Amino acid sequence: MSETKQRNEKRTTLERFIPKGDRLLIEIDKTPEKTPTGIFLPDSVREDKQTARVISAGLDSELRGGETIVYAKFSGTEIELDGETYLIIDDEDVLGYLDE
């Protein structure tokens, strides 16, 4: 077995996934389950955040992995990789990014 093939087999699905074109694979920032004072928030009151971290970007995308972005609500397609949920969105759904 070639060395390259052995290296690829050790990488997780997430590490091997490359979005097509100008799409981005993002990890959505989680809404806290409780307030800073310790009060637990039920799902009905928690709002999904519109910020996320770019995990990987397609070859035609302006963004790169590691950047924090703000994206349009109700955009993208949810997928599951290595037991975690991620979102694939188009570059045009990114409203901006946080300069760090």
Tokens 């290595």, residue?
82
The pLDDT value recorded for residue 80 is: 93
For 72, the domain range is 3-98
The 10s digit of each residue's pLDDT in 9-64 is: 678 888 889 999 999 999 988 777 777 888 887 777 666 678 999 999 999 999 99
Into how many domains does the chain fold?
1
Please give the model's pTM, rounded to 2 decimal places. Answer: 0.76
CATH number at residue 70: 2.30.33.40
pLDDT level of residue 95 (50, 70, 90 thresholds): very high
SS (H, E, C) the chain: CCHHHHHHHHCCHHHHCCCCCCEEEEEECCCCCECCCCCECCCCCCCCCCEEEEEEECCCCCCCCCCEEEECCCCCEEEEECCEEEEEEEHHHEEEEECC
The pLDDT value recorded for residue 10 is: 73
The pLDDT value recorded for residue 33 is: 77
